[in-house]
Structure 1
Amino acid sequence: MIQIRDKLKAAQDRQKSYADKRRKPFKFKIGDKVMLKVSPWKGVLRCGKKGKLSPRYIGQFKIIKCVSSVSYKIKLLEELSEIHDVFYILNLKKCLAEESLAMPHHDVQIDEKLRFIEKHLSIKDR
């Protein structure tokens, strides 16, 4: 019984060491620029692109306040005012790109659940 417990403990420690090597610390400071993750919605075109090419993150938002160790308050634009401004840490990604490379917000329409809204286009007679 003791040998089984020791073997299980050794296996758990080994798996923990493998997982810890790949684990990244998620810490943001006030004033950091972050990008917001938007949820894919099956069958919806996002920004005119389908599948793998559609954007997963939008914007460059500034962190205003650290609400808890795993949630942050960010400054949203007026177009996204109906969305709550406190987000879980895994829905944020540190923005390392220049501001000129950020995706414009006016091209993206998002509902209150952070899903893209599909816009149908009509082709007029040439």
Structure 2
Amino acid sequence: MKGVLRFGKVVKLSPRYIGPFEIVERIGKVAYILALPATYIVHNVFHVSSLRKFISKDPSKIITEDVNLQSDLTYVEELDRILEFSVKQLKSRDIPFVKVL
């Protein structure tokens, strides 16, 4: 999986699972075609290992937020507000900690 892009660079904090999508068709034993929005510039065929089961108590309460992907398959999360700010002081440097909503 080295060098494979999943909705952006594969790094520690990149999103792997974006949202619940409907399975349109099954291809063979291990691949599925998903109903992705037209704004996504990603191929709509996924291997079963890259999918996760969606479990909901009430299927009418599924919230589908549209993620705005740029042309390089990245997106920017905007913070709501800063809840807490503190600085941890070490011998040689200061490390700021920010808690955001």
TM-score by length of 1: 0.42
Which protein is richer in helix relative to its size?
1
Q: Which has the larger radius of gyration?
A: 1
